[in-house]
Chain A
Amino acid sequence: MSSSAHAPNLAHHFESYEQQRESASLGMWLFVAQEIMFFGGLFTAYLVYRINNPEIFKMASSELNIYQGGINTAVLILSSLTMALAVREAQLGRSKRIVALLVATFILGGVFVGIKYFEYSAKFEHHLVPGEHFDLHLNAEELAYLEKVGITDQAKIQSRAQMFFSIYFAMTGLHALHMLVGMALIIWLIPKAWRGVFNADYHNPVECFGLYWHFVDIVWIFLFPLLYLLGRNIGA
C-alpha cells in the first residue's frame, strides 16, 4: 500500500495498477455477460415467434431497408475498429491519437443513429409501427408466395407482421439506446484523454468502454441477419 500511496489514478483500496486494471476489466466483462442475458430475453422472444410464424416473418422482414441496415452494419464495424485502435493508443499513452479515434468513433456512432432515425421515420410513414394504424402492404408476388405456403388469411398476416415489427422496434430500439449511452460516455472520455491521464498503467476507462462498444456492435452483428435478411431468398 505504502509503495503506491502516491501513484496517480490508483484507488486507495488497490495494491497495484495491475490489480486495478484486472478488476476493471473483469467487472466490465461481467457487465457484458449481464448485457448478453438482457438482450437474450428479446432474442428468445424473437426465436419463439419466428418459429411460430416463419413465412410471415420473412414477408415482414422484406419490408426493412436492406441498404440502410447494411450500411449501418459497415458503419458499426468501422466504429469498432476505431474504438479498438483508441484502446490501443490508450495502452500506448498517446493522448492526441486517443482523442482523434474517440471522435471518429463518436461520429460513426452518430451516423448509425442518424440512419436509424431515417429508418424509423420511414416505418412511421409506411404504417409499419405496431398499433391500430398498422398496415402491411404486400405486393401480388408476395401474396402469391404466402398463398403457396398456405397462408391467405389477411388478418393473420397483419397480426403476425405486427408481432415482427414489435420485436423489431424493441430490439433495434434498445440497441439504439445503447448506442446513445455509448456516445454519451465518449463525451465523458474525450476530455480525460485530452488531459493525458491514460497510459500503460491506467487506461481502464477507455478499455472498459471499448468492451461496451464492441458488445453493442456484436448485438448488431446478430440483429442484421435476423431482422433484415429474412425472406430475401424468396424467388431466388
Chain B
Amino acid sequence: MNILKNLPLFPEQASTVAGQVDALYFFALAITAFFTILIATLVVVFAIKFKRKSDAEFGVPEKTSLPLEITWSVIPLIIVMVLFVWGAKLYITIMRPPADAVEYHAVGKQWMWKFQHPEGNREINDLHVPAGQPIKITMTSEDVIHSLFFPAFRVKTDVLPGRYTQLWFEATKPGTYHIFCAEYCGAEHSRMIGKVHVMAPADYEAWLAGREPGKKLASGEELFQTLACVTCHAGDATARGPLLANLDGGEVQLNSGRTLVRDDDYLRESILNPTAKVVAGYTPLMPSYDGQVTEEQIIELLKYLKQINQVGPQAGAPTGSP
C-alpha cells in the first residue's frame, strides 16, 4: 500500500505561527483527551463495579454536594479561560500583519486564485514566496465568498466581494504546500486549489529574474499614465487633484469635515467612486473608473500610489519598478 508509507498525522509546519498554533492544539488536545478518558473510565468502571446483582437492588441515594458541583464548574471555567486568552492572543498575532510585511495581492474568482507579487508578476493558482519574509496578502473576490487557506502556514481568511480582507504569514521552510479554498463557492469548489512554493530568498530572486517579462501586467506606473491620472495628480500645488502623498495609512481631511485613514478601501473607492469622499479643498470632478479598470489593475495602481508615498511627494513621476 503506497498510501500507508507516508501517513501524516499532523500537517507540516512551514510558517512562524504554525508552531504556535500546534502548541495550542496540543495543549487543547491534551485537555480533551484527559477529560474524555476521565469520563469514559469513570463511566465504564462505575458501570462494571455497580452492576446490578439482583432485580431487587436499588441505587444508594446521595445528597447533592455543593462543593463537588462548584469544583467541577470552576475547574472547567479556569481551563476554558486559559484557552480563551491563549487563543485570543494568538488570533491577534495571526490576524495583524507586522509592519515590515511585503504586500502581495490575491483575487478569488470562481474557481481560481490570481496572485500578484509586489514586483508585478502574476500567477494563477501558484504562488512563489521567499522564506523568512513576512508577507501580507490583500484579497478580494470577483463573485462569491471564497476563503484563502494555507494549511502549512495555519492561516486562512475569507475573501469577500466588494471588500478587502487581509492575511499574512512568514514562511520558514522551503517546499511546496497546498493552497485551498475553504469557503464553499460552487461547482468546482474542490478544484479551486493551488500550490504555494516557498523558496530560499536567493532562489526566489533567481525565480523572479527568470520570469518572462511578457507575463507581467501593465505596471501601476504605466496605468497611472495611460489612464491619465497623471494629468490631475501630478503633484504640484496647482493640480486639480490632491497630492498623492502619505497614502499608506495616513490621515486625510475630507470636504465634509471628517477625517479618515487613507487605507486600501479608501483608495479603491476613490478610483471607482471618486466623488464619494473628496479631500478637503478640492472639487469633486474626477470621473469614475468603475468598469474601466479590473481588480488587478486597481491593485497595481494602489501599489504604485504607495510607492510614490515612499519616494516622496515631490516626485511627480517617480521611477517605477525595474
Interface residues of A (CB under 8 A from B): 147-153, 155-156
A150 contact from B274, B276, B288, B290, Cβ within 8 A: B276
> When the two chains form their complex, are residues B256 and A153 in contact, meaning their CB atoms are under 8 A apart?
no
Contacts of A150 in B (CB 8 A): 254-256, 258, 276-278
- How far is A182 from B145 in the complex, measured between Cα atoms in Å? 40
- How far is A156 from B276 in the complex, measured between Cα atoms in Å? 8
Closest to A147 in B: B284
CB distance from B255 to the nearest CB of A (A): 5
> When the two chains form their complex, are residues B288 and A149 in contact, meaning their CB atoms are under 8 A apart?
no
Closest to B280 in A: A150
> When the two chains form their complex, are residues A155 and B290 in contact, meaning their CB atoms are under 8 A apart?
yes
CB distance from B50 to the nearest CB of A (A): 41
- How far is A155 from B272 in the complex, measured between Cα atoms in Å? 10
**Interface flag for B275 (CB, 8 Å):** yes
Contacts of B90-107 to chain A: CB distance below 8 A: none
Contacts of B254 in A (CB 8 A): 150
**Interface flag for B273 (CB, 8 Å):** yes
- How far is A152 from B274 in the complex, measured between Cα atoms in Å? 9
Max chain B C-beta neighbours (<10 A), residue from A147, A151, A152:
A152
- How far is A153 from B256 in the complex, measured between Cα atoms in Å? 14
Contacts of A155 in B (CB 8 A): 273, 288, 290
> When the two chains form their complex, are residues B288 and A153 in contact, meaning their CB atoms are under 8 A apart?
yes
- How far is A151 from B274 in the complex, measured between Cα atoms in Å? 10
- How far is A153 from B274 in the complex, measured between Cα atoms in Å? 8
Contacts of B258 in A (CB 8 A): 150
CB distance from B25 to the nearest CB of A (A): 35
> When the two chains form their complex, are residues B256 and A152 in contact, meaning their CB atoms are under 8 A apart?
no
| Interface size of B as a range | 10 to 19
- How far is A156 from B270 in the complex, measured between Cα atoms in Å? 12
Contacts of A156 in B (CB 8 A): 273, 276
Contacts of B277 in A (CB 8 A): 150
Chain A to chain B contacts (Cβ below 8 Å), 26 pairs: A147-B284, A148-B256, A149-B256, A150-B254, A150-B255, A150-B256, A150-B258, A150-B276, A150-B277, A150-B278, A151-B275, A151-B276, A152-B275, A152-B276, A152-B278, A152-B284, A153-B273, A153-B274, A153-B275, A153-B276, A153-B288, A155-B273, A155-B288, A155-B290, A156-B273, A156-B276
Closest to B276 in A: A153
Closest to B257 in A: A150
- How far is A148 from B284 in the complex, measured between Cα atoms in Å? 11
- How far is A151 from B254 in the complex, measured between Cα atoms in Å? 11
Question: A152-B276, A153-B288, A156-B276 are known contacts; what are 14 more A-B pairs with Cβ within 8 Å?
Answer: A147-B284, A148-B256, A150-B254, A150-B255, A150-B256, A150-B258, A150-B276, A150-B278, A151-B275, A152-B275, A152-B278, A152-B284, A153-B276, A156-B273
- How far is A155 from B290 in the complex, measured between Cα atoms in Å? 10
Contacts of B268-322 to chain A: CB distance below 8 A: 273-278, 284, 288, 290
Contacts of A151 in B (CB 8 A): 275-276
Contacts of B284 in A (CB 8 A): 147, 152
Contacts of A148 in B (CB 8 A): 256
- How far is A147 from B254 in the complex, measured between Cα atoms in Å? 12
Closest to A154 in B: B275
- How far is A150 from B278 in the complex, measured between Cα atoms in Å? 7
Contacts of B255 in A (CB 8 A): 150
Contacts of B171-227 to chain A: CB distance below 8 A: none
CB distance from B47 to the nearest CB of A (A): 40
Contact digits for B231-266, partner A, Cβ 8 Å, 1 yes 0 no:
000000000000000000000001110100000000
Contact digits for B53-70, partner A, Cβ 8 Å, 1 yes 0 no:
000000000000000000
Closest to B283 in A: A152
- How far is A156 from B255 in the complex, measured between Cα atoms in Å? 17
- How far is A147 from B277 in the complex, measured between Cα atoms in Å? 10
Contacts of B256 in A (CB 8 A): 148-150
CB distance from B188 to the nearest CB of A (A): 29
- How far is A112 from B255 in the complex, measured between Cα atoms in Å? 44
CB distance from B27 to the nearest CB of A (A): 37
Contacts of B288 in A (CB 8 A): 153, 155
Contacts of B276 in A (CB 8 A): 150-153, 156
- How far is A150 from B266 in the complex, measured between Cα atoms in Å? 14
- How far is A150 from B290 in the complex, measured between Cα atoms in Å? 19
CB distance from A215 to the nearest CB of B (A): 36
Closest to A152 in B: B275
Contacts of A147 in B (CB 8 A): 284
Closest to A148 in B: B256
Q: Can you list the 7 inter-chain pairs with the closest CB atoms, starting with the nearest?
A: A150-B256, A152-B275, A153-B273, A153-B275, A152-B284, A153-B276, A150-B255
